[in-house]
Amino acid sequence: MTLVRKFATVGGATLGSRIFGFARETLMAAALGTGPMADVFYAAFRFPNLFRRLFAEGAFNAAFVPLFAKEIEANGTDGAKRFSEEVFGVLFSVLLIITIVMELSMPLLVRFVIAPGFADDAEKFSITVRMAAVMFPYLMCMSLTAMMSGMLNSLHHFFAAAIAPVFLNVVMIGALFYALYTGAEPLQTAWYLSWGVLAAGILQLVVVYVGVLHAGMSIGLRFPRFTPNVKRLLILAVPAAVTGGITQINQMIGQAIASAREGAIAALQYADRIYQLPLGVVGVAVGVVLLPELARALKGGNLREAANLQNRSMEFVLFLTIPAAFALWILSDEIIRVLYERGAFHQENTAIVGSILAIYGIGLPAFVLIKALQPGFYAREDTKTPMRFSAIAVGVNCATALTLFPFLGAPGIAVAEATAGWISTVLLFTTLLRRGHLTWEWALARRTSLLVVSAAVMGGVIIYLQRRWEPWLASSAHLATKVGTLGLLIVIAMAVYFVTAFLIGGANLGMIRRNLNRKPAEKVDG
């Protein structure tokens, strides 16, 4: 199967999840706006989400997948099953202890980590503590889900793992529809959502477990034992957990700082949801598919194939994210207006959230490239180097956010996150290049420059049409008019970008078909 088909499988399922996520956020904006209950829910939900990234997605996609792939090669499916059960036993026990400790410590965590700015508001603080306590077991469900997703990805069964997140959005949309239908108060709506998160976590776990059974594997619960394989996993997983959760760590820092100003947490979340679409569809898909492919190529000694996989993945990422970054920067207000501006979400909210989205647009290529570059380290069982770079990025993010927030508000936090993303990208890229794990291609550099030119041409067309069609995109226009105009503008922009890119040589069909096809390369010593 070609890389592009694998990207499409994961990206398509992720796209479905992100579309449902948009629907969820649109209903959230209508029901809660950027009011205090929106701040409370997002603050409480961010914490289990952070730990999900730290202990689940980052750690297991980085550490578990290469070791699981090695077990399949060395000892077949029986060895891989045994390894999985050893890991499952330890993971289940550790997660249970973490959940109990965190539940008992929740008041302290909210006061000093999650939302220090809520400490002066007794009601807001109390509700945040209780909602975080309800949602924290979601971590346990999602961590076990991530482990089984890693198994599925290694076995080339990508769809079940990629489609599972859709169920979180479906359950939350159901809760929001019920709240809006019954005219529930904001507090009651937030409670519906909190219990919905927990229910969705259980449902996602069931979905991937069924996927594992369908792939011909099964997992039994073993008494936890720290076998050599499990110890190796933990050595790799701890730094990978920090690295994999770098975006969430930076967002958590931003949330803690933003909690000092009402509405700032919700504003960041609404903008975050938009840029998560290209990040998820392209970045996550590339990261999920590339890691087992790289690990397999390296285990077979095919260094040339590994380098080609890395470069082709970067090329694919840049081809799609450069125009997306330009579009998010230029059309930020129009996108927010169409998606959110109704009910409790007003024009003033559009201006703030739009400015945040524009800044995230600048950081988008960096956020996605990180997903394409990190597998170059993880496939070689090097998780410490990316962790060091993550520590640098977190320090920059924290210092920049603290400096800019008093002057710029929530957009200052977005600037800090984008800056940290680009610093991480540069460090990862130059290190891979210096170690010889990445091959410099002048042809790729030239095509990238031409893609930037193509995106700039597209941007000029967008600005021209934006001004001509301003009355149809204004807040006062009918929703159907705004949706139709924005949709037509995006279609024209895409056509301009792709036509320009193919005309000036930034891309060609042969390159796309040839370069995204994974072909075994000859073995190279080294």
Q: Flag whether pLDDT at 41 surpasses 60.
A: yes
What integer pLDDT is reported at residue 247 of this predicted model?
A: 64
Helix (H) or strand (E) holding 46: helix 36-52
Mean per-residue pLDDT, 378-392: 85
Burial 321-348 (b: 16+ CB within 10 A, else e): bbbbbbbbbbbbbbbbbbbbbeebbeee
Please say whether the beta carbons of 292 and 155 come within 8 A.
Answer: no
What integer pLDDT is reported at residue 131 of this predicted model?
A: 95
Place of tokens 């979601």: 138
What mean pLDDT, rounded, does the chain reach? 83
Q: Which residues, at least 6 apart from 490, have a Cβ–Cβ distance to it below 8 Å?
A: 327, 331
Taking the alpha carbons at both ends of the chain, their separation in whole angstroms is 27
How many other CB atoms are there within 10 angstroms of residue 468's CB atom?
Answer: 9
* Nearest residue to 350 (alpha-carbon basis) of 369, 328, 331, 334: 334
Residue 359 vs residue 11, higher pLDDT: 359
Q: Flag whether pLDDT at 466 surpasses 80.
A: yes
Q: Flag whether pLDDT at 289 surpasses 70.
A: no
Please say whether the beta carbons of 145 and 206 come within 8 A.
Answer: no
How many other CB atoms are there within 10 angstroms of residue 96's CB atom?
Answer: 12
For 128-150, what is each residue's pLDDT tens digit?
999 999 999 998 898 888 888 88
Residue 56 vs residue 400, higher pLDDT: 400
pTM score, whole prediction: 0.70
For 75-110, what is each residue's pLDDT tens digit?
888 888 888 888 888 889 988 998 999 999 999 988
Q: Flag whether pLDDT at 393 surpasses 80.
A: yes
